[in-house]
Amino acid sequence: MVVCGLACWRCRWLLPLLLGLAIIMGIIALAGRGWLESESEPYVQQASLWESCTRGEEDLNWSCESLMDYGWGRAAAATYLVGFVILVICFALAVIAFSIEILRFNFVRGIGGLLFVVAAFQIIGLVIYPVKFTEDIPLTGDNMFSWAYGFGWASTVVVIGCAFFFCCLPNWEDEVLGNIKPMGYYSSPERAPYLN
């Protein structure tokens, strides 16, 4: 039987791997043009974190305007981008922390705290964007917040989960390092008379 408990060296790499996955989803959210799209034909509107594009029903060319001209557009982009940069720093710190044989558990807890800061920045950016976008940008037809916006939220959810794990990991320091002896089961003489 193969058991991969917390003391398994390979299992320690799951948290940095999840942070890497959050980075990939964050890159998709930052670069994707699918933050807002037309829900049905004619597809006349699409937007990214950086710009909003529209076109006429018969026109094939998109006419785009920068969202950086709006204060809320700069705020949404800046908060999400700051969260993303801190996430990349946390990933590098996690790789360093899990590369050394004796983990520095206070260091790991600090990474967890930074990940909560990342989540706060990303949530602020992800909430500012749809609220202010729908107030200030004229929408044409039925629109939906789409796949790239969803990747932004998926990245944030993974970061929140990793933050809890990084903060709780030091509570099981002995189990992770393999310092605890296996638990034996003791039974009283009344229950096991054959031991006497």
Residue 1 in this model has a pLDDT that exceeds 50: no
Of 58, 70, 176, residue with least CA distance to 133: 70
pLDDT for 45 equals: 85
Q: CA 180 from chain center: how many Å?
A: 33
Alpha-carbon gap, residue 98 to 109, rounded angstroms: 13
Alpha-carbon gap, residue 185 to 42, rounded angstroms: 69
pLDDT for 55 equals: 84
Residue 103 in this model has a pLDDT that exceeds 80: no
Average of pLDDT values for 77-86?
96
Question: Which one-letter DSSP state was computed for residue 6?
Answer: T
pLDDT for 126 equals: 94
